[in-house]
């Protein structure tokens, strides 16, 4: 077979398998982490018709800007559904689109194969493949897409002195700010500073005046939004101050020394596992010729600048989770793909392929061991799945020996197969457990007791004091209240069932069904309500009562 056609055939199989594992999982697991909160805000926009003021339980929500919630709401309206797959679809499509963007952007500056590998390394980055894509209803995959496009056009502007690209970069900066706030600004500013330093650019070479004019785009769009927000009766001052406060809370400025030291020690491991197994290719940097090759590539150099200019902001953060680091993964992938050279007789290349072959060989026994030890999971077609895994592993080993030039693509194919295997094992096991041992199991019981009537939330509002300070000097502060916190899975599944907002009340209203914390129920007149059910919220294991007034 023609080597070119052979490689195209393998790429076609990789693309089909990627679409299958990302967009068509066998089960839709319940929303978790931040997913249900994003879903609730979007649902309440639809229920209330108020798309300007993000709300939870009918109260204003100040922690994130609204763009991602608008996107999720659009998908909900288009598909006429509030189901989990609709909530996750914008994030999953963002991931696939970013993979394509990496290829079409990179191929202008590097060899076609490096562009393809950059795209596929990102697509199959372990942290997203096995974690981020499972909880894709969060902001971070969409935000990563915006940040990459923003910085890609920034590179084009700085590399070719392209004014139009600079204005497009700032347009996507505006979208990034409207998605996640201050982090988008940090990526732009710190990357520009890093590039100026590394390239020793003169004043006229980095288009200072155009940067100032282009910055009017995000300033103007944000000013328009908050003017409209204020005209609708929203507290725009509280909203803006809290966005800055949220960013400061996660920085070293507002973090205790012990927490900061713990984060500092843990961060390198968290960062390096983002791109696994392709992170192992960074061992090639021990070779001087590889380092020289990477530094000669303007795109790889820019990617390194993005990483090194912004990483300290996260490294010295008091609170970090891997999804905050997703915007770094495309640039890590570009550097890894540039460092990779299949014709290089580097000893590390043999070790890398040896590691991949080890995964290939242990996958079938691993599946067999899982099926034997998890018989209660009631997984279907077990022997067929074992046969498929053995067939795939045998095929990969044979092709590894027969087509050494295509080993990296075979490795990518097999990593996607591991994701497929996880959908045979983790998904059905977790899905079966959720039907019995999670808050989902409580939803039909709650509505059985309420006889299908809407359920609302009762309690004491949470008090917040936000203070933007410089050392001991307070610059500006505000106070606000928001609803009593609880697991956001509850309002998501309750609102999805009742098709209306689960309103938060601080006082009893007649003829209502309420969820209320058991510890707070004595604050209300016992003659005004009847306790009809009790269960425990998974979040902090807090007992809740369902009451009828």
Question: Is the same domain home to 528 and 424?
Answer: no
Flag whether 316 is in a domain. yes
For residue 312, the enclosing domain spans 62-339
Flag whether 136 is in a domain. yes
Q: Kindly report, residue by residue over 398-410, the tens digit of the pLDDT.
A: 999 888 888 999 9
Residue 434: its pLDDT value, please?
66
Give the rounded percent of residues in the chain with a pLDDT score beyond 70.
91
Question: What pTM was estimated for this model as a whole?
Answer: 0.93
Q: How far is CA 165 from CA 149, 153, 154, 155, 171, in A?
A: 10, 5, 7, 9, 10
Lowest average pLDDT, out of 105-109, 257-261, 337-341, goes to 257-261
Lowest average pLDDT, out of 242-256, 268-282, 525-539, goes to 242-256
Is the pLDDT at 54 greater than 90? The verdict is: yes
Give the rounded percent of residues in the chain with a pLDDT score beyond 90.
59
Is the pLDDT at 255 greater than 80? The verdict is: no
Residue 349: its pLDDT value, please?
83
More confident: 517 or 316: 517
For 152, other C-beta atoms within 10 Å of its C-beta total 23
> Using 50, 70 and 90 to split pLDDT, how confident is the model at 95?
very high
Question: Is the same domain home to 306 and 161?
Answer: yes
Question: Is the same domain home to 319 and 393?
Answer: no
- Mean pLDDT of the region 254-258: 54
Which of residues 437, 455, 489 is at a domain's end? 437
Q: Which long-range contacts (CB under 8 A, 24 or more apart) does 432-440 make?
A: 432/377, 432/378, 434/29, 434/30, 438/30, 438/489, 438/538, 439/30, 439/487, 439/489, 439/490, 439/493, 439/537, 439/538, 440/30, 440/489, 440/493
- Mean pLDDT of the region 483-512: 93
> Using 50, 70 and 90 to split pLDDT, how confident is the model at 1?
low
Q: CA dihedral in degrees (277, 282, 287, 289; nearest 10)?
A: 110
- Mean pLDDT of the region 314-341: 89
For 81, other C-beta atoms within 10 Å of its C-beta total 13
- Name the β-bridge partners of 456: 514
Which run of H or E residues covers position 107?
Answer: none
Is the pLDDT at 433 greater than 80? The verdict is: no
Is the pLDDT at 436 greater than 70? The verdict is: no
Which of residues 269, 304, 339 is at a domain's end? 339
Residue 7: its pLDDT value, please?
80
- Can you tell me the distance from the alpha carbon of 120 to that of 282, in angstroms, rounded to the nearest whole number? 16
Residue 87: its pLDDT value, please?
97
Is the pLDDT at 457 greater than 90? The verdict is: yes
Question: Is the same domain home to 330 and 401?
Answer: no
**Placement of tokens 């012990």 in the chain:** 258
Are 332 and 275 spatial neighbours (Cβ–Cβ below 8 Å)?
yes
CA of residue 382 relative to chain centroid, distance: 32
Question: Is the same domain home to 189 and 266?
Answer: yes
Q: Kindly report, residue by residue over 328-374, the tens digit of the pLDDT.
A: 999 999 999 999 876 566 677 888 999 999 999 998 888 888 888 77
Domain count, the chain: 3
Which run of H or E residues covers position 50?
Answer: none
Q: Kindly report, residue by residue over 166-206, the tens digit of the pLDDT.
A: 999 999 999 999 999 999 999 999 999 999 888 876 656 56
Lowest average pLDDT, out of 162-176, 251-265, 299-313, 521-535, goes to 251-265
Which of residues 418, 437, 456 is at a domain's end? 437
- Mean pLDDT of the region 252-276: 73
Flag whether 40 is in a domain. no
- Mean pLDDT of the region 67-83: 97
Is the pLDDT at 260 greater than 70? The verdict is: no
User: What percent of the residues of the chain are helix, what percent strand, and what percent coil, each to the nearest 5?
Assistant: 70, 10, 20
- Mean pLDDT of the region 84-90: 96
- Can you tell me the distance from the alpha carbon of 218 to that of 223, in angstroms, rounded to the nearest whole number? 8
> Using 50, 70 and 90 to split pLDDT, how confident is the model at 306?
very high
- Can you tell me the distance from the alpha carbon of 149 to that of 115, in angstroms, rounded to the nearest whole number? 15
Question: Is the same domain home to 245 and 289?
Answer: yes
Question: Is the same domain home to 166 and 228?
Answer: yes
Question: Is the same domain home to 315 and 403?
Answer: no
Is the pLDDT at 257 greater than 80? The verdict is: no
Q: What is the mean pLDDT of the chain?
A: 88
Question: Is the same domain home to 192 and 254?
Answer: yes
Flag whether 53 is in a domain. no
Flag whether 404 is in a domain. yes
Question: Is the same domain home to 197 and 328?
Answer: yes
Question: Is the same domain home to 323 and 385?
Answer: no
Flag whether 54 is in a domain. no
For the chain, count helices (H), then strands (E).
Answer: 21, 9
Question: Is the same domain home to 380 and 478?
Answer: no
């Amino acid at each position: 077979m023609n080597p070119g056609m052979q490689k195209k055939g393998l790429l076609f199989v990789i693309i089909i398998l990627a679409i299958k594992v990302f967009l068509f999982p066998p089960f839709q697991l319940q929303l978790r982490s931040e997913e249900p909160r994003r879903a609730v805000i979007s649902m309440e926009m639809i229920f209330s018709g108020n798309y300007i003021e993000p709300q939870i339980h009918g109260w204003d929500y100040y922690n994130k800007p609204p763009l991602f919630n608008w996107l999720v709401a659009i998908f909900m309206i288009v598909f006429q559904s509030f189901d989990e797959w609709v909530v996750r679809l914008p994030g999953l499509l963002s991931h696939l689109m970013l993979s394509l963007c990496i290829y079409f952007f990179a191929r202008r500056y590097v060899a076609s194969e490096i562009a393809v590998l950059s795209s596929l390394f990102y697509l199959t980055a372990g942290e997203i493949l096995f974690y981020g894509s499972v909880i894709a209803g969060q902001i971070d995959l969409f935000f990563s897409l915006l940040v990459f496009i923003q910085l890609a056009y920034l590179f084009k502007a700085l590399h070719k002195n392209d004014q139009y690209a600079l204005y497009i970069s700032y347009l996507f900066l505006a979208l990034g700010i409207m998605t996640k706030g201050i982090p988008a600004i940090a990526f732009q500013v710190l990357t520009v500073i890093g590039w100026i330093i590394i390239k020793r650019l003169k004043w006229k070479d980095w288009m200072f005046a155009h940067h100032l004019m282009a910055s009017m785009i995000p300033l103007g769009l944000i000013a328009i939004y908050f003017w409209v927000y204020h005209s609708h009766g929203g507290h725009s001052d509280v909203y803006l101050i809290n966005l800055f406060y949220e960013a400061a809370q996660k920085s070293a400025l507002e973090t205790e020394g012990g927490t900061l030291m713990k984060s500092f020690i843990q961060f390198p491991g968290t960062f390096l596992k983002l791109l696994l197994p392709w992170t192992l290719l960074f061992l090639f940097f021990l070779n001087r010729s590889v380092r020289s090759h990477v530094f000669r590539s303007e795109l790889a150099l820019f990617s390194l600048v993005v990483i090194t200019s912004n990483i300290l902001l996260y490294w010295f953060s008091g609170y970090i989770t891997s999804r905050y680091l997703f915007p770094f993964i495309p640039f890590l992938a570009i550097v890894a793909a540039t460092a990779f050279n299949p014709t290089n007789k580097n000893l590390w290349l043999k070790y890398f392929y040896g590691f991949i072959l080890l995964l290939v060989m242990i996958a079938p026994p691993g599946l067999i061991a899982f099926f034997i030890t998890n018989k209660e999971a009631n997984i279907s077609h077990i022997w067929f799945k074992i046969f498929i895994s053995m067939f795939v592993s045998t095929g990969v080993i044979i092709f590894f020996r027969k087509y050494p030039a295509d080993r990296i693509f075979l490795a990518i194919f097999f990593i996607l197969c591991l994701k497929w295997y996880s959908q045979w094992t983790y998904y059905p096991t977790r899905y079966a457990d959720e039907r019995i041992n999670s808050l989902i199991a409580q939803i039909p019981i709650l509505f059985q007791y309420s006889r299908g009537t809407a359920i609302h939330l009762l309690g004491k509002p949470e008090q917040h004091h936000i203070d933007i300070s410089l050392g001991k000097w307070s610059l500006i502060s505000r106070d606000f209240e928001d609803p009593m916190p609880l697991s956001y899975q509850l309002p998501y599944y309750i609102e999805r069932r009742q098709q209306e907002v689960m309103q938060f009340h601080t006082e009893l209203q007649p003829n209502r069904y309420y969820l209320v914390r058991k510890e707070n129920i004595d604050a209300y007149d016992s003659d005004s309500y009847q306790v009809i059910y009790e269960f425990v919220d998974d979040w902090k294991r807090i007992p809740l009562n369902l009451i009828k007034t």
